Each structure stands twice: as C-alpha cells, then as structure tokens.
Structure 1
Amino acid sequence: MPSGGANPTCRRAPKPCHGIARGILLFLVAGCSFHARAGAQTTPLRWGGDAEGGAPYQFQDPRDPGRIIGFEVEIADAVARILGRPAEFVQNQWDGLVPGLERGNYDMIISGLEITPDRAEVIAFSRPYYITFEQVAVRKGNESIRSLEDCTGKTVGTLKGSLAQRILEARPGIDVRSYDGQVNAYEDLMNGRLDAVLMDHIIALYNVAPQPGLKMVGRPEGRLEYGIGIRKEDTRLLAEVNRALGEMISSGELRSILERWGIWTELCGDYFLDHSPGNQRPVAFEDYLAARQASRSVWDRIRQYASYLPLLGKGAVVTLELSALAMVLAVCLGLLLALTRLHAPAALRLLCGAYIELIRGTPLLIQLFLIFYGLPHAGIRLSPMLAAILGLALNYSAYEAENYRAGIQSIPRTQMEAALALGMTRIQALRYVIVPQAVRLVIPPMTNDFIALLKDSSLVSVITMVELTKSYSQLASIHYDYLGIGLLAAAMYFLIGLPFVRLARQAERYFSPEHRAFLVGGKQRQAGE
C-alpha cells in the first residue's frame, strides 16, 4: 500500500476520464457545428460509389492518386451541373452501397449498379445510363475455352451478386468463384488459379487490354443495364435525375462520355436511338492504357511510391485518430465495467458479465454493421467517424474490463483492509490505493490491445471510412501493385504502433516496484542530508 502522511480525503485529485469525455464531446460538437454551417451554405448532390471497384467506373488517377476519375464521375458531375448543385463523391464499400443509401449517407448511387428486380424492391432506379453485356476472358494460349459453353468442368471467377454470377450458377458443372472486386479475379486468372473470368464487358475491356497474357473470347452473354439508385421516397430527385439523363442523351453528352472511355456499345445505340457514326476518340481509354503499360525505371518507381505517401498518410491519420479515441473510451468504459462487476450489487454484476460475454462472443464486423446500419432503423443516426469510434470502443471495452478485473483481483485483500482501517471509504480506497496499483499491472496487456485495435480499425472501411488499409486497397487495385504498396502500408502501421510500444515500456519501468523503491530511497537520502 502506498505510504504518505497526507490524508487522501483532503485532496482533490483530477478526474482524467471526465476530462477526456469532455474533450471528446467538444470535438464531436465542434464537428457537428462545422457540418451544419457547411450544409447551410450549399446543398451538394452526394453520390455514393466504391473507388476500389476499379476502372472505368470511378478510380484513382494512376498519375495523380489523390484524384478520382472515371466515366461515372463525369456522369455524376454532368447530372449535378444540370440540377444546379455541386457534386460530392462519398466512398463506400460496394456491397454496402444500398444500405448506405437507405440510412441517408448520400442522395444516390452511381457505381455500376445493375437494375434488377431484387434491388428494385428496395430502391428506385433512374432510366439506364449504360447498357452492356457479359464477356468471357481467359489466358492467352488457352484454346480449350472459346465460349461460355466450354467452361463446364472449369473454375470461373465473377463478381459477387452480379448477373454474371447468376448466369454461371444456372449452368451445371461450373465451379463458380465469386469475388468482391474485379481486380483480384483477373489477378487469379493470370496466376492460374482460375480457368476463366466472366464479368461485364467494360470490366473485361479495362482488365484484359493492359495485360498481354489475357484475351476475351466468345460471344456477348446476357444484357444488363446500369441505373442510378435513389431512395423510393425521393420521387422528386428521381424525376430530376431522369430529366438530366434525358438532356444528356438528347444533346449527345452521354454518348460523348461513353465514347471517350471507349465503352459505347450497340446496345447503348439501340436504347438511346442513336446509330450515327462515332466521332469521338477514346482518349480516356488510351490515356489509361498508356499509364498502365508505361515502362518505369527504378527511379520512376521510387517517385511513384513517393506520390502515394500523401494518400496513405491521410489514411494513417484517420487510423490513428479513431484508434486513439476508441482506446481512450475503451479503457474508461472497461475500468467502469470491471469495478461494477467486482463491487456493484448482484444485478449489475450479472448485467456487466452478460455484456462482456456478448461483446467478446460476436464479431467486431457484425457490431459495426449493427451500429452503423441497424441503429438508424431505431431513429439513431451516427456519423461514420463516431460509429467507428463507438464500435471499436465497445468491442475493446470488454477486453479491457477483463484486464482490469484481473489486475484488481491480483492486489492483496490486505490493501483494501488497511485502507478501510485508515478511515477511507471503499470508493476512496479503490481510487487511491487499489486502482493505481492495478493500472501498473495492466499496462502490458493494454498496450497489446491498442496494437490489435490499430489493426482491427481496418474493418471500419465497411462503414464508409477511408483509413490506411482502404487507401492501400484502392491504390493497389488500380496499379496492380499489391507488394510494393503493401510494404508501404505495413511500414506505416509499424511506425504508428512503435511509439506507443516504447511509451508503454517506459511507463511499465516507471511504475515498477524497483523504480519506485529507487525514488523512495533517493528522497530518503535527500532528507537525511
């Protein structure tokens, strides 16, 4: 038990958890006020998409990674211009686009979204802005597959939830492998893990053309239409978007955009009633190929990697910010849970125990989905940043509670008895005697938990957060460089976590019994002199 002549009851010790909570509250209120002022000045047309989806939809410019380009970016800008509103892109993981629209994260979806009966039951669709078909791609030199009919007994990759997947699953004898993104499927095809890939023609075009080892085979399969997804209740916006698309079709602007990207098809001509000869060079497609196929020296690669640093650094800042705030909340809540579980009435102890087991027994990803997409159905809407912090904090608070419980229980009971004998209340004994000693014991596991939380923060990309891992994934998907960019991202994670490991070791040494004995001995020598 710490010694000293001063009576703890006569001192007012600071309450760090209260100060931290006030600071976080002020931060959130300031952010809300800023967004409220910004919203009062302009009403941007917010559209959701996934920049990781790859070319030519919306993707990072190979020459300027901080810039999002693509034919759908140009369509969104044109629609917003006709409606007299500035366009604002909102990044969201592709399979979360429809839930994000329903919870109000953005006004519409433009991300290669196929118009299907299942989706039409949930959201409304504009008139189609693009019509295409499915296309088979294989490795060059593979003469055994000349069409989709030859894929029986083969392993074929496709996009999850797409028309191509439904076509493949309707054919018996095909081993279907579904992917979340287009790039990984064509990478696996190049590496021999797949025999063929069936995806939308424009996806095949932009993934096969830059790869000399791939080719497209067979006739067009199926027909699919891309539409702009809008909430069913937003009938006014739906009418305005349809009007804007109609103007773009009649003026030829939409065809000009599609021709620039080299994706105009006969199906588009049939739907738009436009069979006139094309007069627009596919300059955007040619520029993309030039950027992908350009040979680079060692110094060119170094400069290119250097150009990725601002984008990766921005993601690293987001990762560090949400991880630090989440850990602070997790520690405060974990300590409260531990004390409640040890010293509260039976009902509260049972409730805390159930909470801890429930949180530890369910995946963090499910918890994030429930907080971000589930709570709005109960009238609770949280910003992506706040939802990410809350989700990580609630998850890790259960583990911190167990750390603190073990630390508190490791303190001899005689410490509490001695404190009570000195006239302290139980709360004062916990505050001044037990908890400070327990903190010293839980520093090592708490540090390990923070490093784990840093890595688990990569999961928040599912709720529209663009952190370090998402930034890496977006860059790698457009440059097909998972190794070099991955090493950069790994180095950033290491550099983020290293200072905290060092600080934890210093704190552990500072609070160690040997160091405290050294300090006490030094003070006694000074008093004797």
Structure 2
Amino acid sequence: MFILVLLIFLVTGCGRLQFFSSGESALQEAKDQKSVVIGFANEKPYAYQEDGKVTGEAVEIAKKIFKNQGITNIKPVLTDFGSLIPGLKAGRFDVITAGMYITPERCKQVAFANPEYNIGEGLAVQKGNPKDIHSYKDVANQPDTTIAVMKGAIEESYMKDSGVKENQIKFVADQPTAVALLNSGRVDGVTMTGPSLLAILQSAKAKNVSVVEDFKQPIIDGKEIKGIGAAAFRPEDKDFVKIYNDGLAQMKESGELYDTIHPFGFTKKDLPGDETAEEICKQ
C-alpha cells in the first residue's frame, strides 16, 4: 500500500495531487483545496506574467468563475504554447487558460468550454512593408519570405492552408522572440491574433516593426477565418466544463464578460456569438 501511494505521489507531484482511488473528481478536489492549477503560455493579452503576477483576458475570466465556486487560489504553470495540451493530459494542470482556439483537431484531445471571444489574425512586418505583404497568400507567392510564429499556434495551419511552405515558417517559443527576430531583420514578418499582436508591440518597443493595417484575413475552404478562443479541460472533467460554462453564460448575460476582456484590448465586436464549443467541434 505504501509503495502504491508513493507511486501516485511521484506521478502527480508536478501538478495537482490526484488520488484516483478516492473517486473524487478534479472539480471536487479543487473545491476541497480551494485551488486550481492553470496552464498558460505567457501570451499577451490572453495570459501572461506582469510584475510577478499572472493576468490576461483568459486568466481574469477564470478567476471570476472559479471564485464563484469557492476556488480562490490560482496556481499558474508557465509552459510553451505547444506543451499546453500535453501538459493538461499529463495532469500538470487542471485547465488551460491561454486563449486557445477551438479547432477540430484540438477537440479530439481536450474538452473546450464555450467561447470567450471571436477575433481575427494580425500580421506585422518591417517598417515600410518592403515585401508588400498584405495576406498569407502574399507570403506564399514570395518563396524567400519568412514569417515567425509560435510553435503549436493555429497560424501555422492557416499559413500552410494558404500555400505557405514549411521552410518559410520560423517557429519560436513565445511572442517576444518572434518580435525580436522581426525587429532585427532575421524574419520578414510575425503573425498572431490581432489583439495579441497589438499588445506585444505596445510593450516590445520595436522601432523597426509596423502592423499591416489592411491585412486580409485567411480564407479556408471558402470561408473567412475567425479565431474562437476558450478554456480547455481534460475530456473526463465534464463537471468542470459545466460549471465553467454556467459561469461564463452568467458573465455574458450580465455584461461582466465584456467588462473583463475590454481592458485587454477587446471590443464588443470581439464578443462570442451563441455558438457552443460542442457545435464548433463538429464543424
């Protein structure tokens, strides 16, 4: 018995202690301990560290929803964006609060809560836009053009679906690295969500970088792409998803959702529609 308990402790020690033999769900354990472990990737404006604290659109929504459930202690775990889903599945954290897009491929691995926002993509280039880039198609048409993107981010698939080759994509661990590469001229552009791009450029003070104001949103399978972001849980944690969705619906109805995300650069047009995560995953 001692060996079994020790093994359980070692396996789960890097995240939440989960003694599955008790039959207690992750939600009930979080309520009992009044704490929840969140995974984030230091990406403005969704979830990032500032002055030693973790904040951002996704984090602040989560804090309010969990607080209403009596879960007041938020324990953040910083990781690369590409490691978020593996970390969730491995039990390093209870929920991903990183503004992650809902996609069919990710829906096979995690259980998304309902949408928190609905936004478009953004592109920044060297000042003056010397390569005249206004879309991912423009990148594809110039084989010597290189764009930096966070590893695991949805923009990789958007670019590839638009004809951009693998060797035109420079993968980076985080946004500041991407902007630093562009500012020094080692890549021709960086792409990420619109709010994220504006937020990182405001803080980066990159003098040689400018936003492509007339960037054309990617069109995949005949449809203009809009990013729909949400929190993500393990598929077995259905009760966690339910209380999160209930709390999110209350925030949306009362106007608190807009009040929470607006300070991070989101506008009313970025608010989610009535489509659920389940409906989006079936598309």
- Tell me: CA distance 1:129–1:87, structure 2 relative to 1, closer, same or farther (3 Å): farther
Matches within 5 A, 1:132-281: 132-148=119-135, 149-151=137-139, 152-153=141-142, 154-172=145-163, 174=165, 175-209=168-202, 210-217=205-212, 218-221=215-218, 222-264=225-267, 266-268=269-271, 271=273
Looking at structure 2, the residues matched to 41 and 161 of structure 1 have their Cα atoms a distance apart, in angstroms, of 31
Tell me which of the two structures has the higher relative contact order, counting C-alpha pairs closer than 8 angstroms and 6 or more residues apart: 2
SS of 2:101 mapped into structure 1: coil
CA deviation after TM superposition for structure 1 residue 247, in Å: 0.6
Instruction: Decide which structure has the larger Cα Rg and report it.
Output: 1
Question: In structure 2, do the counterparts of structure 1 residues 193 and 101 end up closer, same or farther at CA, with 3 Å as the change threshold?
Answer: same
Residue pair 2:258, 2:268 contacting (<8 A) in 1 also: no
CA contact (8 A) 1:45 1:107 kept: no
- Tell whether 2:98 aligns with 1:111: yes
Report the alpha carbon displacement of residue 42 of structure 1 after superposing the two structures with TM: 4.1
- Identity of aligned pairs, percent? 26
Instruction: Name the structure with the higher helix share.
Output: 1
Q: Given the alignment, which residue of 31, 40, 47 partners 1:58? A: 47
For residue 494 of structure 1, what is the aligned residue in structure 2? none
CA positional deviation for 1:259:
1.0
In the TM superposition, what whole-angstrom CA distance separates every residue of 1:287-308 from its partner, at most 9, and x where no partner exists? xxxxxxxxxxxxxxxxxxxxxx
Using the TM superposition, give the Cα deviation of residue 179 of structure 1 relative to its aligned residue in structure 2, in angstroms: 1.8
User: How many residues of Structure 1 are paired with residues of Structure 2 in the alignment?
Assistant: 236
| Distance in 2 (alpha carbons) for counterparts of 1:55 and 1:256 | 17
Pairing 1:48–2:38 present: yes
Q: What TM-score, normalized to structure 1?
A: 0.41
What whole-Å deviation, never above 9, does each CA across 1:311-333 have from its counterpart, x for those lacking one? xxxxxxxxxxxxxxxxxxxxxxx
Question: 5+ unaligned residues in a row in structure 1: which ranges?
Answer: 1-24, 274-529
Residue 267 of structure 1: CA displacement? 4.1
Higher strand share: 2
On the 8 A contact 2:39/2:95 being kept in 1, the answer is no
Amino acid at match of 1:235: K
Deviations 1:402-424 (A, max 9, x none): xxxxxxxxxxxxxxxxxxxxxxx
Match of 2:53 among 58, 61, 67: 67
Question: Partner of 2:24 in structure 1?
Answer: none
Q: Look up the equivalent residue of 2:89 and give its one-letter code.
A: E
Question: What CA distance in whole angstroms lies between the structure 2 residues aligned with 1:231 and 1:86?
Answer: 21
Question: Helix, strand or coil for the counterpart of 1:227?
Answer: strand
Shift of 1:99: 2.5
Root mean square deviation, CA, Å: 2.8
Give the C-alpha shift of residue 239 in structure 1: 0.9
Q: Following superposition of structure 1 onto structure 2, how do residues 396-435 of structure 1 map, counting pairs within 5 Å? A: none
For 2:30 and 2:207, locate their aligned partners in 1 and report how far apart those are by CA, in whole Å.
52
Unaligned runs of 5+ in 2: 1-5, 19-28, 219-224, 276-283
For 2:162 and 2:241, the matched residues in 1 are separated by 37
Contact 2:31-2:69 within 8 A present in 1 as well: no
Q: Is the 8 A contact 2:31 2:70 kept in 1?
A: no
1:265 Cα shift? 5.5
Residue-by-residue CA offset, 1:158-200 (whole Å, 9 max, x unaligned): 1222221112112335512222211111110100011111211
* Residue 82 (structure 1) aligned with residue 68 (structure 2): yes
Mapped contact 1:48–1:97 kept (Cα < 8 A)? no
Q: How far did residue 203 of structure 1 move?
A: 1.8
State the Cα distance separating 1:143 from its structure 2 match. Answer: 4.2
Change in Cα spacing, 1:173 to 1:230, as seen in structure 2 (3 Å) is closer
